[in-house]
């Protein structure tokens, strides 16, 4: 099953970065962000809650409330966003009982644990190398 929480959260963070860059007086809320993403505001609120808990964003309540980045775009990397979401690993060893007379069955958990660890380290290192400030440069602004 494909998980789009990460892509949606990067979308949110880029939208907030652009809002800050444009020095907009009104902070976007979950409804505005959801419209941009073409999703339900409840989905956005769940992700905002996780991003807030991780200290990546902060929110203001009330009539003119909304959300904004809590750090500069050069301080936030994609690993920060990914880790904040607590996404279930895409690969991991299974927890099936071992069949004692099968060498593969007796070894697969330790083999896949090592594979999973290497995969996660490599992916997190790559995500850590990408800053929000790098991605914001790739957003094509429509000049109407």
Report the CATH number that the domain containing residue 69 is assigned in CATH: 1.10.10.10
At residue 1 the predicted structure's pLDDT band, cuts being 50, 70 and 90, is low
Q: How far is CA 57 from the centre of its chain?
A: 12
Q: How far is CA 22 from the centre of its chain?
A: 23
Instruction: Identify whether 107 is part of a domain.
Output: no
pLDDT of 23 higher than 80: no
pLDDT score of 45: 96
Could you tell me the residue range of the domain that residue 75 belongs to? 5-91+131-136
User: Higher model confidence: residue 103 or residue 3?
Assistant: 103
Instruction: Identify whether 143 is part of a domain.
Output: no
Q: What is the mean pLDDT of the chain?
A: 92
Report the alpha-carbon distance of residue 131 to residue 86 in Å, rounded: 19
Instruction: Identify whether 126 is part of a domain.
Output: no
Instruction: Identify whether 12 is part of a domain.
Output: yes
Instruction: Identify whether 144 is part of a domain.
Output: no
pLDDT score of 3: 82
Instruction: Identify whether 117 is part of a domain.
Output: no
Mean pLDDT of 33-51: 96
pLDDT of 84 higher than 70: yes
pLDDT of 90 higher than 90: no
Report the alpha-carbon distance of residue 139 to residue 22 in Å, rounded: 13
Phi, psi of 66 (to 5 degrees): 170, -165
pLDDT score of 65: 85
At residue 89 the predicted structure's pLDDT band, cuts being 50, 70 and 90, is confident
Instruction: Identify whether 102 is part of a domain.
Output: no
Looking at the 3D structure of the chain, how many domains does it have? 1
C-alpha separations of 74 from 15, 70, 129 in Å: 15, 12, 11
What tokens does 36 get? 């941009």
Instruction: Identify whether 37 is part of a domain.
Output: yes
């Amino acid at each position: 099953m494909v998980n789009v929480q990460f892509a949606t959260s990067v979308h949110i963070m880029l939208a907030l970065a652009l809002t800050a860059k444009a020095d907009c007086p009104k902070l976007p809320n979950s409804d505005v962000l959801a419209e941009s993403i073409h999703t339900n505001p409840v989905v956005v609120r769940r992700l905002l809650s996780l991003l807030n808990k991780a200290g990546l964003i902060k929110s203001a309540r009330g009539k003119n409330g909304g959300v904004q980045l809590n750090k500069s775009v050069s301080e936030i990397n994609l690993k920060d966003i990914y880790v904040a979401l607590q996404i279930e690993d895409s690969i991991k060893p299974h927890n099936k009982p071992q069949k004692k007379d099968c060498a593969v069955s007796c070894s697969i958990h330790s083999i896949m644990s090592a594979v999973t660890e290497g995969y996660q380290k490599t992916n997190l290192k790559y995500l850590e190398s990408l800053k929000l400030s790098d991605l914001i440069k790739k957003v094509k602004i429509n000049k109407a």
